[in-house]
Structure 1
Amino acid sequence: SLSISVSISPSGEIVEGRSVNLTCRSDANPPVQNYTWFKGTSSVGKGETYTMKKISSVDSGEYKCRSSNEHGEKLSEALTLNVLYPPKSVSVSISPSGETEGSSVNLTCSSDANPPVQNYTWFKEGGSSPVGSGHSYRAPQRGSYYCEAQNEYGSQKSAAVPVKGVIDGKHITAALHITLVLNGDQYTASPLIRHPLTRQDFVKQPG
């Protein structure tokens, strides 16, 4: 019976950015006239050898070769391509978002990587030393935080995410009557205010 096989070169780990060749071989008699390559059910190429230059994560999947001559055609067994790549699309989500009352906020780092991320490291913008590690981090104070995701093929940093309204794990509140005089006009702050004061905390008084 007709045999058909698929091989890959170079052999071993397939890392993003490299060039990969898939080769289809058949012992058909008369010889094969056409080779067609499929990824899943989609046709992706023709010829005995299918070359992918600068392979990327989207090229992962199952590949088959179909050989045909004047007597018929045959489909090969599937060859699975598992492309390895460093972390990408690293991002930070914050919960709860916006102002928080009386507690720290939870930051979560997400990333697309193969193999999965091995280490998550957290930094506060403006500082060089890590402030935490792990998939999630509880931010104890206001500022902008970002994470760095790493696996054995590389690392990537997220954009910084601002954390507002938290000071050492809790809001500082004050029951004070604060009056501000500006250009002869008198402004009074709300009796219960959060630190630090902003322009919105003051209400202009009549007269």
Structure 2
Amino acid sequence: MSQQIQKTTASGKGILSNPKLVLVHRSLNVVMNQNVTLCCCSASGSPPVRYTLFKHNQQVSSLNRSDSTPALFTLTISSASDLGPYKCKAEHNTSSDGKYSNSLNFTLIEPISKPVLSSPTSHTTKGQNVTLSCFSENGSLPITYIFFKGKQSISPPVMMHEREAAVIFLFVNSSTDSGTYKCKANNSFPNSMKYSNSFNFTLAEERSHSQGLIISLGLILLLLVIGFALAIPFFIIPSYKAKKYKSTRPSTGFTSTVNVEETENDVIYAEIEPVKPEEEYINFSVIRREDEKAGKRECTTVYSKVLIRN
């Protein structure tokens, strides 16, 4: 810039050349409410010269120079409309043959917001691939992201020129891979570096074979209990009722029972006649009773009927 001013002041009289518009010192990246200085000067031309600064083809300010010194315009960037484009015009006071300079545009930079570190899953197992993403919702682009595990960097800087998250892939090989992760984001805004939240993976321990066998046996036992419970009303109870009913049905032939009212050596022999379908009673006859103690045998025939209830 100083060399350009020296060339301008050293130039003599001549035809007015197209001026150049340059920024003094700082970068074209600006922050809100920042003051900037623009320099407009012509390399040749006879003074006096009038310099006029325009923004969006609207006049901002004018300066007259009676010598070859450049015109300096100081601006304050207070809104997005102050970003430009800017041009300057150089002309003689006695002439209308003004000439225009190049155009300049400022870029507004904003501080980044705290980045958010996340993953589709927080639970993982050994041998699994996982992803980590870091994203700042606000802040001027481009944004550079760096991932950390503890205090150690685990990725090179990832510069994002779009409003998108930076993503890295991790391979979980041991329990140490489930440590604390963070990411850092920064852009061209001065002192804009910010760290994200912490993120931890939960590593699921692999079950041993014995544990799997115990679980399988428990499930089989549970299924057996459920099957037995379901079989009671459908199979066991009907079968029991059928056997009980069958045992109460009479049969033909001889049978012997002990008469609890007699002595233990008295034996009663009975003959049961079959029941006809139309009958409701059984003919029951006692044909012989023996008294072994007395050495006597008595035969007595007694007929009776027993009511049958289905």
- Between Structure 1 and Structure 2, the one with more helix by share is 2
* Structure with larger RCO (C-alpha < 8 A, sep 6+): 1
User: TM-score, normalization: structure 2?
Assistant: 0.35
Which is higher, the Rg of structure 1 or of structure 2? 2
User: TM-score, normalization: structure 1?
Assistant: 0.47
